[in-house]
Amino acid sequence: MRRSRNTVLSVISAGVFLAILYMLNMNRAGNGMLISIMQKSAIFALVAVSMNLLNGFTGLFSLGQAGFMSIGAYTTAILLIPVQSLDGVYYMNGINPGIRALKVFLSALPPWFQSVYPFMALIVGALFAAVIASIVGVAVLRLKSDYLAIATLGLSEIIRALFSSPQLDGITNGSYGLNKIPAFPKMFGGLVPPIITPFIVSAVCITLIVLLIRSSYGRAFMAIREDEIAAEAMGISLFKHKSMSFIISSFFSALAGGMLAMYMRSIEAKTFSITLTYDILLIVVIGGIGSVTGSVLGAFLVTASKEWWLRFFDQPLELFGWDVPLFRTGFRMVIFSILLMVVVLIYRRGLMGTNEFSWDRIFGRFKWKRRKVQGGGS
């Protein structure tokens, strides 16, 4: 009965969330800011969970997420830019003839293919990043702790520099970046509006990661995190499972990068700088290293705080004729940093720690409070 109750509550919660999204979609003009923040949060939730798979559950301190996001973003963008817009995007040096021929061929395929083509572009970008990760992982996964972090961070910067280099102008458009990227498509024959698409894609991907963590491979990842020597003594292949975690994390990071390109409608290499990696790491730490629920919660809280809730601190404030000091452009980030320090001091292991959201825990807490009140009254 408890399991049935939890399933019903989860379905009801998902239904309420979808109903809210449909209501927001009915008034997109008035809720544009809120919709934009929620979509960005859903994208960052996926990349944070993928980073947590590697850092929190496998114990590999990697900082290369931004690089793999850029691979997915550029691949998806190149595949999605309409043929008629290519000359307007590659206006400086022109597009590679092979890419133009490929896009002309794809644009001539039947309508049913065009309806699923955006999702195929996301998967192709993610697979390309997974291939790169499998090649690079042979070298970098032999490193540990800080050395692995430095190597993956350097890899991310190398990828960013390559995408902005003049030698790849015909493919990535160099430092000019890519624009005129189509937005999110509809799903299920138009039943699902475009604003809901990133939530569904992120939810499906996060569910797949959760299933992986709960499988025998996930238990092997956590065994490596706890003690590599003991895990190897139990017959777990360290390199095999580290490579698997690294490749899967890179795959979903690239898929999130592709969705970020569709969300922004234009990308350039500096979008995927070291700062983006630090933002993702911040979400993981605030939510809780080793908690999928924490990464999702952290993505929504951090994104909403930076983009919306604290924005009024950037505006001048006057009370009863007195100009309040410090309320100027940039003060928002000062307040945001202070709040982060407070959260870290109070929640040393993040908001969720290593725990996951559980209806049983919520009902158990209410029962404990009720017993405490009854005991105090008697």
Q: 124-152 pLDDT, tens per residue?
A: 999 999 999 999 998 898 888 788 999 99
Q: Residue 247 pLDDT > 90, yes or no?
A: yes
Instruction: Tell me the average pLDDT across 60-80.
Output: 93
Stronger pLDDT, 328 or 102, i.e. the higher one: 102
Instruction: Tell me the average pLDDT across 113-126.
Output: 92
> What was the pLDDT predicted at 44?
95
Is the alpha carbon torsion for 299, 305, 74, 140 positive or negative? negative
> What was the pLDDT predicted at 373?
58
Torsion of CA 374, 375, 376, 377, to 10 degrees: 50
Q: Under 8 Å CB-to-CB from 314, ≥6 apart: which residues? A: 327, 328, 329, 330, 331, 332
Q: Under 8 Å CB-to-CB from 365, ≥6 apart: which residues? A: none
Q: Report the distance separating Cα 202 and Cα 283, nearest Å.
A: 16
Q: Which of 73-87, 144-158, 187-201, 329-343 has the lowest mean pLDDT?
A: 329-343
Report yes or no on 303 lying in a domain.
Answer: no
What is the average pLDDT score of the chain? 87
Stronger pLDDT, 245 or 378, i.e. the higher one: 245
- C-beta neighbour count of 62 within 10 angstroms: 28
User: What's the maximum distance between 2 C-alpha atoms anywhere in the chain?
Assistant: 83
Q: Residue 190 pLDDT > 80, yes or no?
A: no
Report yes or no on 115 lying in a domain.
Answer: yes
> What was the pLDDT predicted at 317?
65
Q: Report the distance separating Cα 191 and Cα 297, nearest Å.
A: 27
Per-residue confidence at 330, pLDDT binned at 50, 70, 90?
Answer: confident
Per-residue confidence at 75, pLDDT binned at 50, 70, 90?
Answer: very high
Instruction: Tell me the average pLDDT across 326-352.
Output: 80
Which stretches of 27-110 are DSSP H helices? Answer: 32-52, 65-80, 86-89, 97-107
Q: Which of 94-103, 108-117, 193-202, 330-339 has the lowest mean pLDDT?
A: 330-339
> What was the pLDDT predicted at 156?
92
Q: Residue 5 pLDDT > 90, yes or no?
A: no
For 88, the token pair is 């307007």
- Give the domain extent around 153: 35-272
Q: Under 8 Å CB-to-CB from 216, ≥6 apart: which residues? A: none
Stronger pLDDT, 327 or 378, i.e. the higher one: 327
pLDDT tens-place string over residues 304-317: 888 877 777 777 76
Q: Under 8 Å CB-to-CB from 294, ≥6 apart: which residues? A: 52, 284, 286, 287, 288, 350, 351, 352, 353, 355
Output the DSSP codes for 283-305: HHHHH-TT-HHHHHHHHHHHHHI
Instruction: Tell me the average pLDDT across 223-238.
Output: 90
> What was the pLDDT predicted at 200?
93
> What was the pLDDT predicted at 120?
94
Contact 310, 330 (CB under 8 A): no
| Among 152, 176, 151, residue whose Cα is nearest residue 163 | 176
Q: Which of 83-87, 224-228, 245-249, 304-308 has the lowest mean pLDDT?
A: 304-308
Instruction: Tell me the average pLDDT across 172-197.
Output: 86
Q: Report the distance separating Cα 142 and Cα 150, nearest Å.
A: 13
Q: Report the distance separating Cα 281 and Cα 295, nearest Å.
A: 10
Report yes or no on 26 lying in a domain.
Answer: no
Work out the percent of the chain whose per-residue pLDDT is above 90. Answer: 44
pLDDT tens-place string over residues 39-51: 999 999 999 999 9
Report yes or no on 237 lying in a domain.
Answer: yes
Q: Report the distance separating Cα 72 and Cα 69, nearest Å.
A: 5
Q: Report the distance separating Cα 375 and Cα 367, nearest Å.
A: 12
Report yes or no on 96 lying in a domain.
Answer: yes
Burial 330-356, CB ≥16 within 10 A → b, else e: ebbeebeeebeeebeeeeeebbbeeee
Task: Name the DSSP letter for residue 184.
Answer: P
Q: Residue 278 pLDDT > 80, yes or no?
A: yes
> What was the pLDDT predicted at 378?
46
Burial 367-378, CB ≥16 within 10 A → b, else e: eeeeeeeeeeee
Instruction: Tell me the average pLDDT across 87-102.
Output: 89
Burial class, 233, CB count within 10 angstroms (exposed 0-12 / middle 13-18 / buried 19+): exposed
Output the DSSP codes for 62-79: ---HHHHHHHHHHHHHHH
Per-residue confidence at 369, pLDDT binned at 50, 70, 90?
Answer: low
Number of domains present in the structure of the chain: 1
